[in-house]
Amino acid sequence: MASTPTPDPAGPDTATPDPGTPDPGTPDTWDPQRYLAYADERGRPFVELVARIGAERPARVADLGCGPGNLTRLLAERWPAAYVTGVDASAAMIERAEADQQVDHPGIEWQLADAREWQPEAQLDVLVTNATLQWIPDHLALLPRLTGMLAPGGWFAMQVPGNFAEPSHTLRDEVAALPAFAEHTGTAQRPASHDAVDYLRALTALGLEADAWETTYLHVLRGPDAVFEWVRATGARPVLQALPDALRPAFEEEFKARLREAYPADEAGRVVLPFRRVFAVGRA
């Protein structure tokens, strides 16, 4: 992506979101520009996940839940001879990926499809799904279908957030439960995930040679209400979009105030956001 730096495995220690990005206009939509405001921090787990894939010369590689495609292009860079497919259920994300398509990666194809329904044209040598399965209820039940897409010796790699007990999410739900908002937010989608051992057991039971682990990143953020800017693009997005326009500003102000108390800034304006991530890699 021309306007997005390639994630570095070490990652920067600061980032500032773009405050000028408008709110999404329709329910259950994604804003690629807002999501990319923290592209480096969001990219670090992807880089570390892919580093654990041992495939040397895969012919077919897929990124299921590719978002705006900036990380999918890292797959094409690692395996330039592979045919790479980026799949996402958001039309806005696929449009952004296509708009930012790099001429030096002609082997990438973008497809608009739900992860629960997408089927590759041929067996895959590598299937990556990064920060996607947490949006699918009971996604452990989806693993047999996903790993069944692999060719013999193929690799499956996944990463999901594991920070849903942190204030960034619990405070969202506390505010959403207030009488002024509850009737609108009660059915809004909430992401969820399992522990590393659950994914390890699930993949092993499917016959894969599996490895699973977790990492808690300490993201150092800058800017006004930095944690709110982070979560509004992902975990808080469905709740915010469920609110009528007239109520959303009041919700945001209450949520911001609670987040500022939970994640205080230091004298230099830096805020530390602990973020747990859960990883699993398996080989068929």
pLDDT of residue 233: 83
Domains of the chain: 32-283 (3.40.50.150)
3-state SS assignment for residue 18: coil
Mean pLDDT lowest among 17-26, 99-108, 275-284 = 17-26
Distance CA 83, CA 63 (A): 11
Contact 139, 147 (CB under 8 A): no
187-207, pLDDT tens digit by residue? Answer: 999 999 999 999 999 999 999
Entry pTM: 0.84
Q: Is the pLDDT of residue 11 over 70?
A: no
DSSP at 134: G
* pLDDT tens track for 115-169: 999 999 999 999 999 999 999 999 999 999 999 999 999 999 999 999 999 999 9
Average pLDDT over residues 93-114: 82
pLDDT tens per residue across span 53-88? 999 999 999 999 999 999 999 999 999 999 999 999
Mean pLDDT, rounded, of the chain: 87
The three-class DSSP label of residue 125 is strand
Alpha-carbon distances, residue 159 vs 23, 254, 272, 273 (angstroms): 27, 31, 22, 18
- For residue 29, what pLDDT is reported? 62
Q: What is the pLDDT of residue 42?
A: 79
Amino acid at the residue 232: R
- The number of angstroms, rounded, from the C-alpha of 268 to the middle of its chain's C-alpha atoms is 29
In DSSP notation, 184-201 reads HHTT--------HHHHHH
Checking if the pLDDT of 252 tops 50, the result is yes
Burial 140-159 (b: 16+ CB within 10 A, else e): eeebeebbebbbeebbbbbb
Q: What is the pLDDT of residue 27?
A: 41
Rounded Cα gap, residues 114 and 97, in angstroms: 16
Does 263 score more than 70 pLDDT? yes
Residues 6+ apart with CB under 8 A from 246: none
